[in-house]
Structure 1
Amino acid sequence: MPEGHTIHRLAARHRALFAGDKVLVDSPQGRFAEGAALLSGTVLDDTEAYGKHLLHHYANGVSLHVHLGLYGRFADGDGEPPAPVGQIRLRLSSDRHWLELRGPTACELLNPPEVDALRHRLGADPLRADADPDPAYARIGRSPTPLAALLLDQTIVAGTGLIFVTEALFRAGTHPRTPGRQLSRTGWAALWTDLGALMRTAVGTGRIDTVHDRHLPEAMGRPPRVDRHGGEVYVYRRAGQPCHVCGTPVRQAELVGRNLYWCPTCQPG
């Protein structure tokens, strides 16, 4: 599932392509036909990302809400849209550009109160200027639940996925199973700041890199990481490999159905 930086990149991309334009919208697959009819011929005012949720806000007061989930993906291009191939849930076009959406978990229209309700049920997004990390710490700081599980809970922190959580905890020297109530307010402030920095870098580059310069392949004389997720990381999906900092083999275990990765030396339990 795409992490929050990808959704913020998509929001910026769609804003650049379509904001201020009257768009034509259809659903070649048919599953979004009614919603497409309500949007077609309307001006797209703006786009917004909140955590892993993408919103298109239209001049008629309706918003398109998309959650990509595991299988959703967008494609876009210039000029006339190509003939539809396969299961296209949503197709949007102007006289300059087009985009297609396939396989999302959610593709629906929301009215303003429903958009507000969506924002309200999500936690603080480290990539948003209006984010308030205090409510997140109010929940984390009194919880016996492992920190990794708390940080993956989108009602506490929105947009963080397994890579960002795993890597930020390593950089903080904190074991992923540490109970939330053991995290000090100072520790939370540092963790929040680092999460935001890592995610903003990923928005700019389109990939998740979490290692300090001194641990990059060229600095350490090691081969670059080869993984479909790309990016240089400390522990994510590196089980059994030596820690870049201390050389201890990286450990792996399961928590709430997700794989955890950590260094037992750099992140003592």
Structure 2
Amino acid sequence: MPEGHTLFRLAREQTTQFAGRPVHVTSPQGRFTAGAALVDGRVLDGVRSYGKHLFARFGGDTVHVHLGLYGAFTGGTGTPPPARGALRMRWVADGPDGAGVWTDLRGPTACEVLTRPEVDAILARLGPDPLRPRADAGRALRRIAASRTAVGALLMDQTVLAGVGNVYRAELLFRHGISPFRPGRAVDEALWARMWADLVTLMRAGVRLGRIVTTRPEDRSRRRGVPTREDAHYVYRRTGEPCRICGTDVRTEMMVGRNLYWCPVCQPS
């Protein structure tokens, strides 16, 4: 599932390509036909992300998209290709230089037109997004510190913290030497302040790079240049491989429906 930095980049790209001009919106698959008709031909004000949600505002109506596990946008310039397959939504516009732009959406968990109160209701149930200016880190801490639930599960709860997924969960906990099984109430204010600041830095880097890189240069096989895929993470998808710090085999098990990765020595119970 795309994490918050991917949605942030998508919102920025779609705003640059489509905002301020009429957008032709269709649903070749047919499952979004009524919603597409509501906004077709209207001027897009802009697109913003919050956590793993996208909100494209057309006046008083907003197209809300949640990609889920399988959703994806593709796009390009010029004339769009023939519509094939499960194409939920297509946008076509003149583009900033008049050459034409298009984007296609396939496989989302949600694609719907909402009113402003409906958008506000979604935002109200989400935790703070580390990529949003003036996000309230303390609001997440209050939920975490009051819970007996494992911190590895709490970090994936979008009502606690918006935009964090499986990669950031595993890597953030490793970087701070925290067992994913530690109860939330064992995370104090000082520790959470360090974790939050680190998470903001990592997610902003994800926006800039277009990928998640969590390793420090000194912990990579190549200390200079762009990190390779093999060097990008400490524990994520490294089951059975030696920990980059202590050499212990990285472990995995399921937690809240996703594979959890951790080092039992660097992240002691």
Normalising TM by the smaller chain, what interval? over 0.9
Give 1:181's match in structure 2, choosing from 185, 193, 199.
185
The Cα of 1:256 is off from its aligned counterpart by: 2.6
Output the CA distance in 2 between the equivalents of 1:56 and 1:145.
Answer: 35
> Aligned ranges for residues 120-131 of structure 1 at < 5 Å?
120-131=124-135
Output the CA distance in 1 between the equivalents of 2:201 and 2:110.
Answer: 28
> Aligned ranges for residues 17-56 of structure 1 at < 5 Å?
17-56=17-56
In the other structure, the counterpart of 1:250 is 250
Output the CA distance in 2 between the equivalents of 1:183 and 1:245.
Answer: 23
* Structure 1 residue 238 corresponds to structure 2 residue 232: no
The Cα of 1:9 is off from its aligned counterpart by: 0.8
Output the CA distance in 2 between the equivalents of 1:211 and 1:225.
Answer: 11
SS at match of 2:129: coil
Output the CA distance in 2 between the equivalents of 1:212 and 1:65.
Answer: 36
The Cα of 1:141 is off from its aligned counterpart by: 0.6
Output the CA distance in 2 between the equivalents of 1:261 and 1:81.
Answer: 41
Letter in 2 for 1:247: G
SS at match of 2:170: helix
The Cα of 1:254 is off from its aligned counterpart by: 2.2
The Cα of 1:248 is off from its aligned counterpart by: 1.4
Q: When the two structures are superposed, what TM-score results if normalisation uses the length of structure 2?
A: 0.94
State how many pairs are aligned: 262
Using the TM superposition, name which of 258-267 and 98-107 deviates more: 258-267
Output the CA distance in 2 between the equivalents of 1:254 and 1:70.
Answer: 16
> Aligned ranges for residues 107-146 of structure 1 at < 5 Å?
107-146=111-150
Q: Is the 8 A contact 1:174 1:267 kept in 2?
A: yes
Output the CA distance in 2 between the equivalents of 1:173 and 1:12.
Answer: 34
Letter in 2 for 1:137: L
Provide Cα deviations, 1:142-164, integer angstroms capped at 9, x if missing partner.
Answer: 11110010010000000100110
Output the CA distance in 2 between the equivalents of 1:186 and 1:73.
Answer: 38
Output the CA distance in 2 between the equivalents of 1:238 and 1:216.
Answer: 14
Using the TM superposition, name which of 39-48 and 250-259 deviates more: 250-259
- Structure 1 consecutive aligned stretches of length 4 or more whose deviation exceeds 6 Å: none
Provide Cα deviations, 1:154-208, integer angstroms capped at 9, x if missing partner.
Answer: 0000010011011000001110000000111000111111111111101111111
The Cα of 1:263 is off from its aligned counterpart by: 1.1
Q: Is the 8 A contact 1:215 1:244 kept in 2?
A: yes
> Aligned ranges for residues 127-206 of structure 1 at < 5 Å?
127-206=131-210
Structure 1, unaligned runs of 5 or more: none
Letter in 2 for 1:235: V
In the other structure, the counterpart of 1:260 is 260
Q: Is the 8 A contact 1:217 1:224 kept in 2?
A: no
Provide Cα deviations, 1:59-104, integer angstroms capped at 9, x if missing partner.
Answer: 2x10000001111111111122222111211111112211111111
Using the TM superposition, name which of 257-266 and 61-70 deviates more: 257-266
Q: Is the 8 A contact 1:124 1:131 kept in 2?
A: yes
Structure 2, unaligned runs of 5 or more: 95-99
Letter in 2 for 1:15: T
Cα RMSD of the aligned pairs, angstroms, is 1.4
In the other structure, the counterpart of 1:74 is 73
SS at match of 1:69: coil
In the other structure, the counterpart of 2:97 is none
Q: When the two structures are superposed, what TM-score results if normalisation uses the length of structure 1?
A: 0.94
Provide Cα deviations, 1:25-49, integer angstroms capped at 9, x if missing partner.
Answer: 1111111111111111100001110
Output the CA distance in 1 between the equivalents of 2:229 and 2:36.
Answer: 42
Task: Give me the identity figure in percent.
Answer: 53
Using the TM superposition, name which of 245-254 and 17-26 deviates more: 245-254
In the other structure, the counterpart of 1:4 is 4
Output the CA distance in 2 between the equivalents of 1:209 and 1:146.
Answer: 25
Output the CA distance in 1 between the equivalents of 2:122 and 2:229.
Answer: 37
Using the TM superposition, name which of 250-259 and 183-192 deviates more: 250-259
The Cα of 1:113 is off from its aligned counterpart by: 0.4
SS at match of 2:200: helix
